[in-house]
Amino acid sequence: MNRQHSFENEKPTLYLVPTPIGNLNEMTPRALDVLKSVDIIACEDTRTSGQMLKHFEIESRLIAYHNFNEEASTNGILELLSEGKNIALISDAGYPLINDPGQRVVAAASGAGYNVVPVSGASAFLNAIVASGLVVQPFIFIGFLPQQHTDRLKKLREYKAYPMTMVFYESPHRIDKCLQDCLDVFGDRQMVLARELTKIHEEFLRGKISEILPVLPELKGEMVIVIDGNHEDYSKDVDMNAIMDMVQASIDAGLSTKDAIKEAAARTGIAKNRIYDEYHSRSGEC
C-alpha cells in the first residue's frame, strides 16, 4: 500500500496544475503560488506555456513533456525528483491528464513514493456539463472518439446503452461527422454543444442532435459535446457482437472471463447474466 500524506512530509512533490482554458482571470491564486514556488514546470509546449507564464510574471524553468517524449521525459522528471526538485505539470489549457499527457509520470512518481498533489482549477468538460441543463450525475467523460469513421461507430455502439450523460471532446473539422455518427447510433437525443468556453465567443447550443447539425458549418473553436444517456430499454436492440468483442479484448488483456464479463456489464449497462449466457453460448458453438 502507498499511503501519501501530501503536506506532512518533506518529500519532493509533483504538482498537477490546471491552467485557464481561455480566460486568464480563471488562474487561481493557489495555482500561481505553486507555479512560482516550484523548481521546474513541465509543459506540453514551451512556447504556449511560456507566453502564459510571462503574463503572470512566473520565471520557473520550463521543460517539455508531451505525447512524443513522454517516456524519456518521465525518466527525466523522476531523476529531478530524486534530486529533491519540486515540479509542476501543466497542460496547454485545462487539467493535466484529461485528454492531455501526464498519466505515465503520475503513475511513475507515485509508485516511486514521491508526493503527487492535485491543484483545483479549470476543466472544459466540467464547465460544459454543469451548464448543459442535462442530468449531471451520473455522467461519463469519454474524451476524444476515434478519428476513423468505422472505429468511431464501433466505439459509439459500446456506449449506446449507457444510462448516464456522456461527455466528448471534438475538433471543429470533425464535429459534423462525429455528430452525424452520434445521431445514427444513438438516435435523436437531447444534447448540448459548448464551444469557446470562458472566452468572449462562448456559446452553448442546446437541443436535439438533428437541430444542431445544420448550424455546425458556421462554428469554430474547441468543442465539448454533452449527450443525454439512454432512458429506454435497449436490452433487445443492443449490439451483442460489440459487447463480445469488448469481453474478448479484456480477456486478451489479462482479465479472467468472469472479470471481463463483469467489466463489460458495468461499461454497457447490460445485465451480467445476459452477457455471461451469450459468451458461453458462443464459446460452446466453437
pLDDT (tens digit per residue) in 186-209? 999 999 999 999 999 999 999 999
Structure confidence at residue 286 (pLDDT):
44
Tens digit of pLDDT for each residue in 117-148?
999 998 999 999 999 999 999 999 999 999 99
99 confidence band (pLDDT: 50, 70, 90): confident
CB 43 within 8 A of CB 94: no
Spacing of C-alpha 162 from chain mean position: 17
191 burial level (CB within 10 Å; 0-12, 13-18, 19+): buried
Fold of domain 125-227: 3.30.950
Residue 165 vs residues 84, 132, 134, 136: alpha-carbon distances, Å: 43, 10, 7, 7
Q: Is the CATH code 3.40.1010.10 the one for domain 13-122? A: yes
Q: Which residues contact 65 (CB under 8 A, 6 or more apart)?
A: 42, 43, 44, 73, 74, 77, 89, 101, 102, 105
> Is it true that 13-122 and 125-227 share their CATH fold?
no
DSSP element (H, E) containing 144: strand 139-144
Task: State how beta strands 190-195 and 203-208 pair.
Answer: antiparallel
Ordered by start, the domain boundaries in the chain are 13-122, 125-227, 240-285
Q: Stretch 259-272: mean pLDDT, rounded?
A: 82
Nearest CA among 98, 106, 91 for reference residue 41: 91
